[in-house]
Amino acid sequence: MMHWTESLNRLRLLCGISLIAVAFATVPTTQLFAEEATAEPNSAVTTDDATATDEAAEDPLATLRADTDVLWVVLAACLVFFMQAGFALVESGFTRAKNACNIIMKNVMDLSMGSIAFWLVGFGLMFGATNGFVGTSGFMYDGGDSGFNWAFLIFQTVFAATAATIVSGAMAERTKFAGYFIYSIAICVIVYPIFGSWAWNSLPTDSSLGGGGWLENMGFADFAGSTVVHSIGGWAALAGAIVLGARIGKFSKDCKPQRILGHNIPMASLGVFILWLGWFGFNAGSTVMVGESGFGGLAHIAVTTNLSAAAGAIAAMLTSWFMFKKPDTTFTVNGALAGLVGITAGCNAVDPGAAILIGLIAGVVVVLSVIMFDKLRIDDPVGAISVHGVCGAWGTLAVGLFSTSAGLFYGYGASQLVVQLIGVAAAFAWAFPVSLGIFLGIKYTIGLRVSEQEEMEGLDIHEHGMLAYPPHMVTESFGSSTSPVPGMAPVGSPLPATASAIPSTEGA
């Protein structure tokens, strides 16, 4: 009984305290401090006080708008970061199982080393105070108390990593990891940021940075990077593929291209869907702010991005169906990526109909481009040069044709198209020879290509000491045994007529 009595008393005490607290909380503040207000009869609100009050009332809205910009840019950066997963899946799925770990390692290092290298050097070269050609400040950048400065830094960092990852696919299955490791750093501190300073130097809001690159001062328009990111990566990939040479078995003795099948088409297709999703951050995030008009501009960009990707997939499917009598899966997903790359430059400046047309043309172009590079005996295992280099150039030129405020087809003449052509040419004239020099330097110092035995048995076991799958699923010729990968013909073996007729198209 004593125990229950004490418990009941404690419960009553708690209820009483709660009631007092509730009653106190419901008393209006004006009543609680009425005496204090009465004791200060001379506290009338002056005009200056009223102005200060109005300004204070406006500050929360301005603060909210600024915080929203920061939040949007960081979220967009996260979407672009997630694209690395898409690239990893696409590249590993469209190459052979014996090299899957190597593909993953290169993608991880593109992001990891690229992030540090870009912060140390690349960001300053790209966005530092400039004379129009290269930045000279902002190295080891410190955003200070500005949340937006930090958001801008991480957004541009993941862009740099994207440019580096493009090269990985074109050099897949025969590149020394150490040699590629060095180039991955080089593209983030030399190739990408210096061209970026020509086109995007004025983007930062930090007054200690920027000044305007020579291309953007001419009026060059590349909103989210068809050329600045994708073509730069594509032309660098072209240089790497040329220096490396073709994979063993890619071309027959009479120089005809042979299809080397990837090991997991569903994996690669999943990667394309991830990239498609990430592209909404890539393009819409390039506004780097929500703006006073709200989210309408972002929504417009999302719509044009999606329409172009869809049109690219349809066009590539139809083109492959017409040319090879079958609707090819790898061409179709490549077409979606081609449409995404093509719309990136003008996603903010074209209407939905033009976005569809840009994607349709990109889907056709990517198929023809893959065939062209095969005929030139340039081995690109994942089609990176065609998707990013060629379609990036097309998308940049399309701004001069379809921009609603400057395009030739909208009555504004050819002046913008000429500027776009100069920008495309400048990108190739910079990225290709500089990358070629870097790759040749690596080739004649530490070496760029693995040995024939390493290539045949797989980079996973020789470069990383592990396999991505059980041995019998991994390689055409591991050790002394011969064990074909399910769904993949061994190198040098005859292929079915329908497969042999179709050139290599696997790609991102």
> pLDDT by residue (tens digit) across 52-88?
334 444 578 888 888 999 999 999 999 999 999 999 9
| Helices and strands in the chain, H and E counts | 21, 2
Mean pLDDT on 494-507: 43
Which residue type occupies 29? T
Domains of the chain, each with CATH number or no CATH: 64-452 (1.10.3430.10)
Q: How far apart are CA 314 and CA 134, in angstroms?
A: 41
| Between residues 62 and 142, the one the model is more confident about | 142
Question: Residue 301 corresponds to which tokens in the numbers above?
Answer: 């960009």
For residue 95, what are the CA distances in angstroms to 100, 228, 409, 497?
7, 27, 41, 21
User: Is the predicted pLDDT of residue 44 greater than 50, yes or no?
Assistant: no
Q: What is the distance, to the nearest Å, from the Cα of residue 500 to the centroid of all Cα atoms in its chain?
A: 33
| Between residues 315 and 46, the one the model is more confident about | 315
Instruction: Match 């020579």 to its residue by tokens.
Output: 214
Question: Residue 3 corresponds to which tokens in the numbers above?
Answer: 């125990």
Residues whose CB is less than 8 angstroms from the CB of residue 192 and which lie 6 or more positions away in sequence, other chains included:
122, 126, 160, 163, 164, 229, 232, 233
pTM of the model: 0.83
Is residue 6 very low, low, confident or very high in pLDDT (cuts 50, 70, 90)? low
String of DSSP letters for 132-172: SS-B-S-TT---TT-HHHHHHHHHHHHHHHHHHHHHHHHTT
- Longest CA span, the chain: 103
What SS3 state is found at 216? helix
Axis crossing angle, helix 415-443 with helix 391-402, rounded to the nearest 10: 170
Summarised one tens digit per residue, pLDDT across range 158-168 is 999 999 999 99
pLDDT winner (highest mean) among 12-21, 60-69, 144-153, 312-321? 312-321
Beta bridge partners of 251: 257
Beta bridge partners of 478: 481
